[in-house]
């Protein structure tokens, strides 16, 4: 997967997704929620404007607001104002340069499709290994979810919604679609980490860890030489 070994727009968008998660964690008991809510919308809007496959983040931030805050209509309005702000300045820039039609470039071109990779054998092994740790992490998280504080449980629910909404983008967007999976890696990594965090015994997590190291070495060294 050479698309994951280079600086790309999806990798930059990941940094904004991590920033959003930090803002979500502060939202539950923030003393100044309105400014924080606007910032959440602004960060999401910048991410979507810079990388259109991140469009499901708009649904994610509204889900986060619904889960982490009691309903207040003004807060929902502030959130959408934060989302619109980057596009407002973009439209103003293009209008001043008599090129308002360029705003159509920011309308996503959704086209359902299947994706194919050059080396499907390595891809299947890699995705299977990742899928096992993510599924195991989801099961462990579900088992321990009842022991968490309400804020932690709701934040994990937002992570799950983000993961489920960002995965289908790979089948809807045209272009370098394998890069789109990077958007879902932030919540996926959080769930996969449960597999290494919660078990009391260290034997199985250690074995899986070294198997992953071997897979990384194979993918990035022997496969490239072949």
| Tens digits of residue pLDDT in 113-152 | 566 666 677 777 778 888 888 888 888 888 887 787 788 8
d(CA 81, CA 89): 12
Chain centroid to Cα 5, Å, comes to 18
**pTM as predicted:** 0.81
76 confidence band (pLDDT: 50, 70, 90): very high
SS3 44: helix
pLDDT of residue 81: 93
Closest by CA to 186, choosing from 1, 7, 22, is 22
Distances (CA, A) of 187 to 29, 81, 221: 22, 26, 28
Answer yes or no: is pLDDT of 177 > 90.
no
Give the phi and the psi of residue 110 in degrees, each rounded to 5: -85, 130
d(CA 27, CA 67): 10
Question: Over the stretch 21-61, which tens digit does the pLDDT of each residue have?
Answer: 899 888 887 788 889 999 999 999 999 888 888 888 999 99
Distances (CA, A) of 44 to 47, 76, 102: 5, 14, 21
The angle formed by the CA atoms of residues 200, 202 and 204, to the nearest 5 degrees, is 110
Give the single-character DSSP code of 173: B
Residue 151: count other Cβ atoms within 10 Å of its Cβ. 13
d(CA 188, CA 164): 10
């Amino acid at each position: 997967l050479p698309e994951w070994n280079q600086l790309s727009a999806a990798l930059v968008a990941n940094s904004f997704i991590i920033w959003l998660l930090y803002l979500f964690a502060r939202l539950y008991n923030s003393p100044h929620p309105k400014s924080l809510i606007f910032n959440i919308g602004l960060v999401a809007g910048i991410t979507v404007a810079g990388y259109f496959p991140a469009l499901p983040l708009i649904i994610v931030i509204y889900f986060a607001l619904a889960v982490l805050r009691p309903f207040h209509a003004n807060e929902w309005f502030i959130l959408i104002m934060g989302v619109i702000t980057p596009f407002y300045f973009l439209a103003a820039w293009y209008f001043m340069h008599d090129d308002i039609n360029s705003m159509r470039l920011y309308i996503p071109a959704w086209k359902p499709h299947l994706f194919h990779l050059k080396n499907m054998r390595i891809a299947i092994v890699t995705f299977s290994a990742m899928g096992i740790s993510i599924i195991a992490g989801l099961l462990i998280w579900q088992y321990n979810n009842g022991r968490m504080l309400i804020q932690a449980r709701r934040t994990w629910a937002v992570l799950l919604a983000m993961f489920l909404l960002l995965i289908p983008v790979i089948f809807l967007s045209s272009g370098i679609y394998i890069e789109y999976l990077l958007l879902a890696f932030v919540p996926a990594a959080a769930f996969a980490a449960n597999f290494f965090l919660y078990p009391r015994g260290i034997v199985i997590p250690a074995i899986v860890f070294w198997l992953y190291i071997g897979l990384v070495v194979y993918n990035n060294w022997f496969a490239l030489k072949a």
